[in-house]
Amino acid sequence: MTIFFDKKTKTFHLQNAQISYLLGIEENNSLVHLYFGKKIKNYSGNYRYPRTDRSFSPNPPDASDRLLSLDTLPLEFPGNGFGDFREPAYNLKLKNGSRITDFRYDSYKIIAGKPTLEGLPALYVEAENEAETLVVTLKDTLSKLQLKLSYTIYKGFAVIARSTQLVNDSQDSVEVNRLASQSIDFPNRELDLIHLNGSWAKERQLTREKVNTGIKVLDSKRGSSSHHQNPFVALVDPTTTEFQGDAYGINLVYSGNHETVIQKDPYDQTRVITGLNSFNFSWQLGAGETFQTPEAVMVYSSNGLNELSHTYHDLYNHHLIRGEAKLKERPTLINNWEATYFDFNEEKVMKIVEEAKALGIEMFVLDDGWFGGREDDFTSLGDWTETEGKIACGLENLSQKIHEKGLKFGIWFEPEMISEDSDLFRAHPDWALGVPGRGRSLGRNQFVLDFSRQDVRDNIYQQMTSILDRIPIDYVKWDMNRNMIEVYSVLLDSENQGEVSHRYMLGLYEFLEKLVTNYPEILFESCSGGGGRFDAGLLYYMPQTWTSDNTDAVARLKIQYGTSLAYPISSMGAHVSAIPNHQTERKTSLATRGNVAMSGVLGYELDLTQLSTEEKKEIKEQVNFYKQHRQLLQFGTFYRLKSPFEGNDTAWMFVSKNQEEAMVFYYRVLTEASAPLTTLKLVRLLEDENYEFDGKMIAGDELMNIGFYINPELSGDYVSQRFYLRKV
Ligand code: GLA
């Protein structure tokens, strides 16, 4: 992996064994994008954006002819107001009211490794030789502002991590209304856009559409990365599939308001900008100050979407997820939420724990309802003291009893929230986000604490850690059950109110950094009404996320398929729950529920004391099987074979890194009379080796090229099959 600057052609070339990323400096010192894609060994300098005179495209003051215009150049970090009429990557208001800046190339430096992003989650390196970083500085001489564009290339990964800093070297403050993490222009190709949208209980539904002329914005204004629009997009060739074709992924490492703007101009040039949401955003950047954007992780694949996902999965497992859980097999768990909701006591809990132990489950998680007198969702958020008497022996003893049985103990918190009916709210009504003099809107009967405030964070940190310090706790589920409106912080001045959403996130990240540093042995799982904040930002602190409140096996096929596009399987919490399913009322077999939940971090979320003997036997087998194979299932290479978004069948498989083992899952939603036969062809096996498969010995080349028939006798709705393969 190297980064070099060619003085002759005035180009930067970031290169590793997989990719090249090329930037050029034009004759007027505009920084332009040249190429991102498969590795180019030696770039000649020949491929440059041609000069052509487009009417109504202005020429910069220092252009020598009519051929140079910023209106068409593929600018690496475009602005507006100085010749480019397209969407800008930044929008700054200067002291004199002008929004016109003219950033030109100034200098560069190359740094070994990767600097951290102050206060923000980001990809990291463990050793300096794992990555190299290019920082290109652009300057606007008149306003004395500098843009520092940062590009990290990793050894062995088809990835460029980008972020931006704005440095204010002037004597005045400047108002930042947009500052993107990345902008990339595709001047000459047809593209499809893939994105992950949805809603509560229906997260990360995969949508693929043609990029058409005009502007499309994919964003969240909800104060969280949201159920509704995940901060991930892929731009792919129209012919790209799971297995072939060019694919570019862009994933923002951020958990708050975000936006991706896609613009195709009349010359069929496409620009994609990603970063903090500019809606209602304004940041006063004082003299001498620097603003750091979140990071955008840009991945390239020349072999379709599966390979794109593999890069994200490996990258996040090795360079985003931290702490003791990194690359470690994750425990199976039983969560009491769908088993008891708020209605639990020591006896009920211990009965579930005993059953769990008998079934081989490794951890018990006590969900919502153990604190402050909370018996429903109207009360007590913010009062993180144990409800006396609810667990008769007390939480400390409960934890001890559970540990004595050989299980781990986990507990639920919702630290960012406050109930109107809480001691905390009665004492500090101004601690909730809200506009003085106006009512506050409720969401799930609760308000949002103003996490931009240090005093608020300190109070919650102290409350939370007094529980963690007293009670042996192995796992924490960190929930967040509403979105933000009336975003106003009483401690900030009027001109700083546009900063609250981002200051909230910085406060949250500061809190989490302190928490995970001081409690390294705790496994954290984030949650937001299921998967409302499934993003790379939170994965930096919490290695797992509750994928969705929807535990229906059929609904989960789409949710988990979509999620797998960017996020590792080891980060996806997946539970077997009771039937009829509590979200969809659907009844699916225990086998199918198990086969879906095993394709993530397996857990159970049902009343184990209500199971029949056969069900217990089956669950015991599932847990046992999962534990035996979880290295493969959590960290193996995951291939999507058949998409639930395209038909009645879904199939995926996991292959071990040495390709000697694989696990294949096939699911069919609805049965059909006189149905056509289904063949599954496997991938990534060793061609010349034999595998034990379904009681037979079959060579890899046969399984990959001919495949095998799914048994036509497999009848009924919501059926599934699982195949384990091992090299003999
Ligand atoms: C959210 C979570 C659930 C559960 C409840 C508790 O909805 O997603 O898993 O923890 O909160 O109130």
Give pLDDT tens digits for 601-653: 999 999 999 999 999 999 999 999 999 999 999 999 999 999 999 999 999 99
Q: Which of 549, 694, 701, 717 is catalytic?
A: 549
The answer, yes or no, to whether any atom of ligand 1 lies below 6 A from the CB of 529, is yes
Angle, to 10 degrees, between the axis of helix 346-359 and the axis of helix 613-635? Answer: 70
The answer, yes or no, to whether any atom of ligand 1 lies below 6 A from the CB of 525, is no
Of 589, 579, 545, residue with least CA distance to 563: 545
- Backbone φ, ψ for residue 93 (5° rounding): -110, 120
Between the CA of 529 and the centroid of ligand 1 the distance, in Å, is 5
Of 427, 140, 420, 170, residue with least CA distance to 287: 170
Strand ranges across the sheet with 661-668:
637-642, 649-655, 661-668, 719-727, 690-693, 696-699
Residue-level pLDDT at 218: 98
Instruction: Note the pLDDT tens digit of each residue in 257-301.
Output: 999 999 999 999 999 999 999 999 999 999 999 999 999 999 999
Q: How confident is the model at residue 421 (pLDDT cuts 50, 70, 90)?
A: very high
Of 704, 638, 686, 649, residue with least CA distance to 308: 638
Which atom belonging to ligand 1 lies closest to the Cα atom of 527?
8
Between the CA of 201 and the centroid of ligand 1 the distance, in Å, is 11
Between the CA of 547 and the centroid of ligand 1 the distance, in Å, is 11
Residue-level pLDDT at 527: 98
The answer, yes or no, to whether any atom of ligand 1 lies below 6 A from the CB of 479, is yes
Which amino acid does the sequence have at 320? Answer: L
Give the mean pLDDT of 299-317: 98
Give the mean pLDDT of 552-563: 98
Instruction: Note the pLDDT tens digit of each residue in 27-45.
Output: 999 999 999 999 999 999 9
Between the CA of 618 and the centroid of ligand 1 the distance, in Å, is 27
DSSP alpha helices (H): ranges in 360-445?
395-404, 423-427
Residue 177 DSSP class? E
Instruction: Note the pLDDT tens digit of each residue in 172-201.
Output: 999 999 999 999 999 989 999 999 999 999
* Termini Cα distance of the chain: 37
Is residue 549 part of the annotated active site? The answer reads: yes
Strand partners, 294: none
Separation of alpha carbons 116 and 306, rounded Å: 29
Return the HEC string of 663-688. Answer: EEEEEECCCCCCCCCCEECCCCCCCC
Measure Cα distances from 648 to 368, 580, 595 in Å: 36, 21, 17
Q: Which of 140, 246, 479, 535 is catalytic?
A: 479
E strand spans, 117-173: 131-140, 145-154, 159-168
Give the mean pLDDT of 105-121: 98
Q: Report the percentage of the chain scoring pLDDT > 90.
A: 99
**Does the pLDDT at position 247 exceed 90?**
yes
- Backbone φ, ψ for residue 610 (5° rounding): -95, 5
State the average pLDDT for the chain: 98
Return the HEC string of 108-123. Answer: EEEEECCCCCCCCCCC
Separation of alpha carbons 290 and 501, rounded Å: 18
Between the CA of 427 and the centroid of ligand 1 the distance, in Å, is 26
Count the residues in the chain: 728
The answer, yes or no, to whether any atom of ligand 1 lies below 6 A from the CB of 527, is yes
The answer, yes or no, to whether any atom of ligand 1 lies below 6 A from the CB of 481, is yes
Strand partners, 698: 691
The answer, yes or no, to whether any atom of ligand 1 lies below 6 A from the CB of 549, is yes
Instruction: Note the pLDDT tens digit of each residue in 501-543.
Output: 999 999 999 999 999 999 999 999 999 999 999 999 999 999 9
Q: Which residue from 417, 482, 525, 527 has its CB within 8 A of the most atoms of ligand 1, so it is best to mutate?
A: 527
The answer, yes or no, to whether any atom of ligand 1 lies below 6 A from the CB of 356, is no
**Does the pLDDT at position 81 exceed 90?**
no
Between the CA of 561 and the centroid of ligand 1 the distance, in Å, is 22
Q: Is 226 exposed, middle or buried (0-12, 13-18, 19+ CB in 10 A)?
A: buried
Of 243, 255, 238, residue with least CA distance to 308: 243
CA 677 to the chain's CA centroid: 37
Residue-level pLDDT at 603: 98
Q: How confident is the model at residue 323 (pLDDT cuts 50, 70, 90)?
A: very high
Q: Is 21 exposed, middle or buried (0-12, 13-18, 19+ CB in 10 A)?
A: buried
Helix-strand-coil split of the chain, %, nearest 5: 20, 35, 45
CA torsion sign for 418, 420, 424, 427 is: positive
The closest residue, in CA terms, to atom 12 on ligand 1 is 368
Which atom belonging to ligand 1 lies closest to the Cα atom of 477?
10
How many degrees, rounded to 5, is the angle at CA 700 between CA 698 and CA 702? 70
Which atom belonging to ligand 1 lies closest to the Cα atom of 367?
10
The answer, yes or no, to whether any atom of ligand 1 lies below 6 A from the CB of 413, is no
